[in-house]
Amino acid sequence: MDRFAAMEAFVRVVESGTFTKAADALGRPKAAVTRLIQQLEAQLRVKLLHRTTRRVTVTPEGMTYYQQALRLLGEVRNLEATLTQTRRGPRGRLRVESSGTLSRLLLIPALPAFCARYPQLQIELGVSDRVVDLLSDNVDCAIRGGAVKDESLVARHLGDLDYWACASPRYLERHGPPHHPLELAGASHAMVSYFASPSGKPLPFTFLRGAERLEVQGRGQLLLNETNAYLAAGLAGLGVMIAPRFVVEPYLATGELVPVLEGWQPEARPIFLVYPPARQRDAGLRVFIDWVVELFASRTNVWRRDG
Protein backbone atom coordinates (compact mmCIF):
# COMPACT_ATOMS: atom_id res chain seq x y z
CA MET A 1 0.00 0.00 0.00
CA ASP A 2 1.18 3.50 -0.86
CA ARG A 3 0.79 5.09 2.58
CA PHE A 4 0.98 8.65 1.27
CA ALA A 5 -1.61 7.99 -1.45
CA ALA A 6 -3.93 6.33 1.07
CA MET A 7 -3.57 9.25 3.46
CA GLU A 8 -4.35 11.73 0.69
CA ALA A 9 -7.35 9.69 -0.45
CA PHE A 10 -8.70 9.56 3.10
CA VAL A 11 -8.39 13.33 3.51
CA ARG A 12 -10.22 13.92 0.23
CA VAL A 13 -13.06 11.58 1.24
CA VAL A 14 -13.48 13.36 4.57
CA GLU A 15 -13.48 16.81 2.97
CA SER A 16 -15.79 15.97 0.08
CA GLY A 17 -18.13 13.64 1.95
CA THR A 18 -18.28 10.99 -0.80
CA PHE A 19 -15.94 8.53 -2.48
CA THR A 20 -17.12 9.71 -5.90
CA LYS A 21 -16.15 13.36 -5.35
CA ALA A 22 -12.86 12.34 -3.76
CA ALA A 23 -12.05 10.14 -6.75
CA ASP A 24 -12.87 12.98 -9.16
CA ALA A 25 -10.64 15.40 -7.23
CA LEU A 26 -7.75 12.91 -7.22
CA GLY A 27 -8.21 11.82 -10.83
CA ARG A 28 -8.50 8.17 -9.75
CA PRO A 29 -11.21 5.52 -10.25
CA LYS A 30 -13.65 5.30 -7.36
CA ALA A 31 -12.74 1.65 -6.85
CA ALA A 32 -9.07 2.59 -6.38
CA VAL A 33 -9.95 5.18 -3.72
CA THR A 34 -12.18 2.66 -1.92
CA ARG A 35 -9.40 0.09 -1.98
CA LEU A 36 -6.88 2.57 -0.54
CA ILE A 37 -9.19 3.40 2.37
CA GLN A 38 -9.84 -0.28 3.05
CA GLN A 39 -6.10 -0.99 3.06
CA LEU A 40 -5.50 1.98 5.36
CA GLU A 41 -8.13 0.78 7.85
CA ALA A 42 -6.69 -2.74 7.73
CA GLN A 43 -3.17 -1.42 8.31
CA LEU A 44 -4.28 0.75 11.25
CA ARG A 45 -6.73 -1.88 12.56
CA VAL A 46 -9.34 0.79 13.18
CA LYS A 47 -12.52 1.93 11.45
CA LEU A 48 -12.02 5.43 10.07
CA LEU A 49 -15.31 5.99 8.22
CA HIS A 50 -19.00 5.15 8.51
CA ARG A 51 -20.41 4.51 5.03
CA THR A 52 -24.03 4.89 3.93
CA THR A 53 -25.59 5.00 0.45
CA ARG A 54 -25.72 8.81 0.52
CA ARG A 55 -22.92 10.08 2.75
CA VAL A 56 -19.69 9.19 4.44
CA THR A 57 -19.12 10.27 8.05
CA VAL A 58 -15.97 10.17 10.12
CA THR A 59 -15.52 8.08 13.25
CA PRO A 60 -13.85 9.69 16.31
CA GLU A 61 -10.68 7.74 15.50
CA GLY A 62 -10.98 8.83 11.89
CA MET A 63 -11.21 12.50 12.89
CA THR A 64 -8.04 12.18 14.96
CA TYR A 65 -6.27 10.57 12.01
CA TYR A 66 -7.67 13.20 9.61
CA GLN A 67 -6.31 16.10 11.66
CA GLN A 68 -2.84 14.60 11.86
CA ALA A 69 -2.86 13.53 8.20
CA LEU A 70 -3.90 17.03 7.17
CA ARG A 71 -0.95 18.49 9.08
CA LEU A 72 1.53 15.99 7.61
CA LEU A 73 0.29 16.44 4.04
CA GLY A 74 0.50 20.21 4.48
CA GLU A 75 4.10 19.95 5.66
CA VAL A 76 5.01 17.72 2.70
CA ARG A 77 3.41 20.14 0.21
CA ASN A 78 5.11 23.07 1.89
CA LEU A 79 8.48 21.30 1.65
CA GLU A 80 7.92 20.54 -2.03
CA ALA A 81 6.84 24.12 -2.72
CA THR A 82 9.89 25.51 -0.92
CA LEU A 83 12.25 23.34 -2.97
CA THR A 84 10.65 24.05 -6.35
CA GLN A 85 9.22 27.56 -6.13
CA THR A 86 12.54 29.37 -6.50
CA ARG A 87 13.43 27.34 -9.59
CA ARG A 88 10.16 27.34 -11.50
CA GLY A 89 7.59 29.39 -9.56
CA PRO A 90 4.08 28.34 -8.48
CA ARG A 91 2.32 25.94 -10.80
CA GLY A 92 -0.73 23.72 -11.04
CA ARG A 93 -4.47 24.30 -10.85
CA LEU A 94 -6.12 27.00 -8.74
CA ARG A 95 -9.91 26.87 -8.37
CA VAL A 96 -11.49 30.24 -7.44
CA GLU A 97 -15.16 31.23 -6.91
CA SER A 98 -16.42 34.81 -7.32
CA SER A 99 -19.61 36.68 -8.16
CA GLY A 100 -20.46 37.81 -11.67
CA THR A 101 -19.85 41.54 -11.20
CA LEU A 102 -16.59 41.15 -9.27
CA SER A 103 -15.33 38.71 -11.90
CA ARG A 104 -16.42 40.77 -14.90
CA LEU A 105 -15.38 44.23 -13.67
CA LEU A 106 -12.42 43.58 -11.35
CA LEU A 107 -10.81 40.14 -11.57
CA ILE A 108 -10.91 39.26 -15.26
CA PRO A 109 -9.65 42.63 -16.61
CA ALA A 110 -6.64 42.37 -14.28
CA LEU A 111 -5.92 38.65 -14.79
CA PRO A 112 -3.64 39.03 -17.86
CA ALA A 113 -0.94 40.60 -15.68
CA PHE A 114 -1.27 37.85 -13.06
CA CYS A 115 -1.18 35.09 -15.70
CA ALA A 116 1.89 36.65 -17.30
CA ARG A 117 3.63 36.74 -13.92
CA TYR A 118 2.73 33.11 -13.08
CA PRO A 119 2.43 31.26 -16.42
CA GLN A 120 2.49 27.80 -14.80
CA LEU A 121 -0.70 28.46 -12.79
CA GLN A 122 -4.02 27.49 -14.37
CA ILE A 123 -6.99 29.47 -12.99
CA GLU A 124 -10.43 27.82 -12.87
CA LEU A 125 -12.81 30.70 -12.15
CA GLY A 126 -16.29 29.67 -11.06
CA VAL A 127 -18.61 32.63 -11.62
CA SER A 128 -21.89 32.68 -9.69
CA ASP A 129 -23.51 34.23 -6.64
CA ARG A 130 -24.17 30.92 -4.90
CA VAL A 131 -22.22 30.02 -1.77
CA VAL A 132 -20.27 26.87 -2.55
CA ASP A 133 -18.86 24.38 -0.06
CA LEU A 134 -15.15 24.89 -0.60
CA LEU A 135 -14.12 21.48 0.70
CA SER A 136 -16.72 19.28 -1.00
CA ASP A 137 -16.44 21.21 -4.29
CA ASN A 138 -12.61 21.18 -4.14
CA VAL A 139 -12.36 24.99 -4.30
CA ASP A 140 -9.14 26.68 -3.20
CA CYS A 141 -10.60 30.09 -2.33
CA ALA A 142 -13.67 32.27 -2.83
CA ILE A 143 -14.44 35.98 -2.76
CA ARG A 144 -17.65 36.53 -0.80
CA GLY A 145 -19.80 39.40 0.38
CA GLY A 146 -21.30 39.62 3.85
CA ALA A 147 -20.33 38.09 7.17
CA VAL A 148 -18.41 34.81 7.06
CA LYS A 149 -20.37 32.35 9.18
CA ASP A 150 -18.25 29.26 8.51
CA GLU A 151 -15.65 29.29 11.29
CA SER A 152 -13.70 26.47 9.63
CA LEU A 153 -12.48 28.89 6.92
CA VAL A 154 -9.74 31.50 7.05
CA ALA A 155 -11.24 34.90 6.10
CA ARG A 156 -9.16 37.80 4.75
CA HIS A 157 -11.09 41.09 4.90
CA LEU A 158 -10.65 42.95 1.60
CA GLY A 159 -12.76 46.01 2.41
CA ASP A 160 -16.33 47.29 2.78
CA LEU A 161 -18.17 47.57 -0.52
CA ASP A 162 -19.85 50.94 -1.14
CA TYR A 163 -23.49 50.76 -2.32
CA TRP A 164 -25.70 53.38 -3.98
CA ALA A 165 -29.45 53.62 -4.55
CA CYS A 166 -30.55 54.49 -8.09
CA ALA A 167 -33.25 53.99 -10.70
CA SER A 168 -33.64 54.33 -14.44
CA PRO A 169 -35.22 57.46 -16.02
CA ARG A 170 -37.98 55.19 -17.36
CA TYR A 171 -38.89 54.13 -13.82
CA LEU A 172 -38.75 57.70 -12.47
CA GLU A 173 -41.05 58.96 -15.23
CA ARG A 174 -43.71 56.50 -14.10
CA HIS A 175 -43.31 56.65 -10.32
CA GLY A 176 -41.33 59.79 -9.50
CA PRO A 177 -38.30 59.67 -7.17
CA PRO A 178 -38.63 58.18 -3.66
CA HIS A 179 -37.59 60.54 -0.88
CA HIS A 180 -37.59 58.12 2.08
CA PRO A 181 -36.56 54.44 2.25
CA LEU A 182 -39.91 53.39 3.72
CA GLU A 183 -41.59 54.45 0.47
CA LEU A 184 -39.97 51.43 -1.13
CA ALA A 185 -42.18 49.18 0.98
CA GLY A 186 -45.37 51.03 0.00
CA ALA A 187 -47.69 50.85 -2.97
CA SER A 188 -46.24 53.79 -4.90
CA HIS A 189 -42.78 52.33 -5.51
CA ALA A 190 -41.09 49.05 -6.42
CA MET A 191 -37.66 47.58 -5.83
CA VAL A 192 -35.62 45.11 -7.77
CA SER A 193 -35.09 42.53 -5.03
CA TYR A 194 -32.31 40.04 -4.50
CA PHE A 195 -33.00 36.60 -3.03
CA ALA A 196 -30.57 34.28 -1.36
CA SER A 197 -30.04 30.79 -2.75
CA PRO A 198 -31.08 28.19 -1.76
CA SER A 199 -33.58 29.67 0.75
CA GLY A 200 -35.32 31.83 -1.86
CA LYS A 201 -35.95 34.56 0.71
CA PRO A 202 -35.57 38.19 -0.43
CA LEU A 203 -32.75 40.04 1.31
CA PRO A 204 -33.63 43.28 3.12
CA PHE A 205 -31.71 46.51 2.46
CA THR A 206 -30.39 48.71 5.25
CA PHE A 207 -30.22 52.52 4.94
CA LEU A 208 -28.26 54.93 7.15
CA ARG A 209 -28.71 58.65 7.80
CA GLY A 210 -26.67 60.00 10.68
CA ALA A 211 -27.69 57.94 13.73
CA GLU A 212 -30.79 56.57 11.98
CA ARG A 213 -30.77 53.02 10.66
CA LEU A 214 -33.69 51.56 8.70
CA GLU A 215 -34.06 48.03 7.35
CA VAL A 216 -36.45 47.89 4.40
CA GLN A 217 -37.98 44.87 2.70
CA GLY A 218 -38.96 46.52 -0.57
CA ARG A 219 -41.91 45.36 -2.64
CA GLY A 220 -41.58 44.44 -6.29
CA GLN A 221 -42.54 41.87 -8.91
CA LEU A 222 -39.07 40.60 -9.73
CA LEU A 223 -36.54 38.86 -7.49
CA LEU A 224 -33.15 37.75 -8.79
CA ASN A 225 -30.16 35.87 -7.42
CA GLU A 226 -27.39 36.96 -9.80
CA THR A 227 -25.75 40.38 -9.81
CA ASN A 228 -25.48 40.97 -13.57
CA ALA A 229 -29.18 40.10 -14.01
CA TYR A 230 -29.99 42.39 -11.08
CA LEU A 231 -28.25 45.29 -12.85
CA ALA A 232 -30.10 44.54 -16.10
CA ALA A 233 -33.43 44.64 -14.25
CA GLY A 234 -32.64 48.05 -12.78
CA LEU A 235 -31.64 49.41 -16.17
CA ALA A 236 -34.91 48.07 -17.62
CA GLY A 237 -36.91 50.19 -15.18
CA LEU A 238 -38.30 47.38 -13.05
CA GLY A 239 -37.65 49.19 -9.79
CA VAL A 240 -35.24 51.04 -7.52
CA MET A 241 -31.98 49.14 -7.19
CA ILE A 242 -29.24 49.05 -4.53
CA ALA A 243 -25.96 48.15 -6.19
CA PRO A 244 -22.19 48.53 -5.67
CA ARG A 245 -20.91 52.00 -6.56
CA PHE A 246 -18.29 50.71 -9.00
CA VAL A 247 -21.02 48.79 -10.85
CA VAL A 248 -23.46 51.69 -11.34
CA GLU A 249 -21.01 54.61 -11.80
CA PRO A 250 -20.67 54.16 -15.61
CA TYR A 251 -24.47 54.18 -16.00
CA LEU A 252 -24.84 57.23 -13.76
CA ALA A 253 -22.32 59.03 -15.97
CA THR A 254 -24.37 58.30 -19.13
CA GLY A 255 -27.73 59.04 -17.51
CA GLU A 256 -28.98 55.46 -17.84
CA LEU A 257 -29.35 55.46 -14.05
CA VAL A 258 -30.17 58.32 -11.66
CA PRO A 259 -29.28 58.43 -7.94
CA VAL A 260 -32.25 58.49 -5.53
CA LEU A 261 -32.88 58.81 -1.78
CA GLU A 262 -30.48 61.71 -1.32
CA GLY A 263 -29.23 61.87 2.25
CA TRP A 264 -29.74 58.16 2.86
CA GLN A 265 -26.76 55.82 2.46
CA PRO A 266 -27.19 52.08 1.85
CA GLU A 267 -25.17 50.12 4.37
CA ALA A 268 -21.71 48.98 3.22
CA ARG A 269 -21.13 45.26 2.70
CA PRO A 270 -17.86 43.61 3.78
CA ILE A 271 -15.98 41.54 1.22
CA PHE A 272 -13.77 38.61 2.24
CA LEU A 273 -11.42 36.20 0.53
CA VAL A 274 -11.96 32.83 2.25
CA TYR A 275 -10.06 29.56 2.01
CA PRO A 276 -9.61 26.31 3.98
CA PRO A 277 -6.70 26.41 6.45
CA ALA A 278 -5.18 23.31 4.85
CA ARG A 279 -4.65 25.22 1.58
CA GLN A 280 -2.83 28.22 3.02
CA ARG A 281 0.62 26.70 2.49
CA ASP A 282 0.03 26.19 -1.22
CA ALA A 283 2.39 28.46 -3.13
CA GLY A 284 -0.11 29.19 -5.90
CA LEU A 285 -2.84 30.19 -3.45
CA ARG A 286 -0.44 32.42 -1.51
CA VAL A 287 0.56 34.44 -4.56
CA PHE A 288 -3.09 34.69 -5.67
CA ILE A 289 -4.17 35.98 -2.26
CA ASP A 290 -1.41 38.61 -2.29
CA TRP A 291 -2.43 39.66 -5.80
CA VAL A 292 -6.14 39.94 -4.92
CA VAL A 293 -5.38 42.02 -1.81
CA GLU A 294 -3.18 44.36 -3.89
CA LEU A 295 -5.77 44.56 -6.70
CA PHE A 296 -8.69 45.40 -4.44
CA ALA A 297 -6.68 47.95 -2.46
CA SER A 298 -5.88 49.79 -5.69
CA ARG A 299 -9.55 50.21 -6.64
CA THR A 300 -10.50 53.30 -4.65
CA ASN A 301 -13.93 53.55 -6.32
CA VAL A 302 -15.00 50.24 -4.79
CA TRP A 303 -14.82 50.77 -1.05
CA ARG A 304 -16.73 52.88 1.45
CA ARG A 305 -14.70 55.96 2.34
CA ASP A 306 -14.60 57.22 5.92
CA GLY A 307 -16.92 60.14 6.52
In this predicted structure, the answer to whether residue 79 has a pLDDT above a threshold of 80 is no
Q: In terms of C-beta density within 10 A (0-12 exposed, 13-18 middle, 19 or more buried), how is residue 267 classed?
A: middle
What number is the average pLDDT over the span 85-94?
72
Q: How far apart are alpha carbons 280 and 70 in whole angstroms?
A: 12
In this predicted structure, the answer to whether residue 199 has a pLDDT above a threshold of 70 is no
Superfamily name and number for 92-161+270-304? Periplasmic binding protein-like II (3.40.190.10)
In this predicted structure, the answer to whether residue 121 has a pLDDT above a threshold of 60 is yes
pTM for the full predicted model: 0.69
198 confidence band (pLDDT: 50, 70, 90): low
Share of the chain above pLDDT 90, in %: 36
In this predicted structure, the answer to whether residue 307 has a pLDDT above a threshold of 60 is no
**Domain map (residue ranges) of the chain:** 3-84, 92-161+270-304, 163-267
In this predicted structure, the answer to whether residue 13 has a pLDDT above a threshold of 90 is no
What number is the average pLDDT over the span 201-226?
87
Q: Over the chain, what is the mean pLDDT? A: 86
CB atoms inside a 10 Å sphere around CB 264: 18
Q: What is the CATH number of domain 163-267?
A: 3.40.190.10
Q: Do domains 3-84 and 163-267 have the same CATH topology?
A: no
Q: What is the CATH number of domain 3-84?
A: 1.10.10.10
Q: Tens digits of per-residue pLDDT, 32-69?
A: 888 888 888 888 888 888 887 677 888 888 888 888 88
Question: Quick one: pLDDT at residue 78?
Answer: 67
Lowest-confidence region among 31-35, 126-130, 196-200, 283-287: 196-200
Question: Quick one: pLDDT at residue 72?
Answer: 84
In this predicted structure, the answer to whether residue 19 has a pLDDT above a threshold of 90 is no
Q: Tens digits of per-residue pLDDT, 248-262?
A: 999 999 999 999 999
Handedness of CA 276, 157, 148, 194 (dihedral sign): negative
The residues with which 242 forms a beta bridge, in sequence order, are 165
CA angle 226/229/234 to nearest 5° reads: 120
Q: Is 28 helix (H, G, I), strand (E, B) or coil?
A: coil
C-alpha closest to that of 222 among 207, 206, 240, 205: 240
- For residues 11 and 69, is the Cβ–Cβ distance under 8 A? yes
Q: How far apart are alpha carbons 117 and 120 in whole angstroms?
A: 9
